[in-house]
């Protein structure tokens, strides 16, 4: 399901795809010394909108999230780095940093499969 266009969409490198609740996608990372799984509301090969139910001082715009795992149902996981672009509780916008061609292809294939 394509996400409706938003005012800042011209800054994005790719259209975002909404994630159906029956196929949840997560980004696992470490915040405040604890490993957490953040639910992905929508994403593309360039970034994601995450849901973070608990507030955290670690979620500041510009903060780098190294060694994250993007967990795709029935497709394994993809290791990547991300940068927080904005945070307005409970949502967090992240940009994926320099992902590999293989990671980009795997994300594209996953998104194409759920869009059908």
4 occurs within a structural domain: no
Measured from the Cβ of residue 50, the count of other Cβ atoms closer than 10 Å reads 26
Its pTM surpasses 0.85: no
Strand pairing report for 26-31 and 17-18: unpaired
Residue 87 Cα distances to 42, 55, 84, 105, angstroms: 15, 10, 7, 28
CATH of the domain at 73: 2.40.10.220
Domain limits for position 110: 9-115
Question: And the tokens for 71?
Answer: 């967990």
1 occurs within a structural domain: no
85 occurs within a structural domain: yes
87 occurs within a structural domain: yes
Number of domains in the chain: 1
Using one digit for the tens of pLDDT, what is the confidence trace for 91-111?
999 999 999 999 999 999 999
Query: Does position 3 have pLDDT exceeding 50, yes or no?
Result: no
- What DSSP character marks residue 98? S
Using one digit for the tens of pLDDT, what is the confidence trace for 64-79?
999 999 999 988 999 9
16 occurs within a structural domain: yes
66 occurs within a structural domain: yes
83 occurs within a structural domain: yes
CA distance 70 to 21: 16
């Amino acid at each position: 399901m394509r996400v409706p266009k938003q005012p800042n969409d011209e800054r994005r490198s790719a259209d975002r795809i909404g994630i159906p609740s029956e196929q949840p996608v997560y980004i696992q990372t470490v915040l405040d010394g604890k490993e957490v799984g953040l639910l992905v509301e929508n994403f593309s090969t360039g970034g994601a909108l995450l849901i973070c139910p608990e507030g955290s001082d670690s979620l500041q715009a510009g903060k780098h999230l190294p060694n994250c795992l993007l967990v795709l149902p029935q497709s394994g996981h993809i290791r990547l780095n991300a940068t927080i672009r904005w945070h307005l509780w409970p949502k967090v916008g992240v940009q994926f940093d320099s992902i590999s061609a293989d990671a980009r292809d795997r994300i594209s294939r996953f998104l194409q499969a759920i869009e059908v």
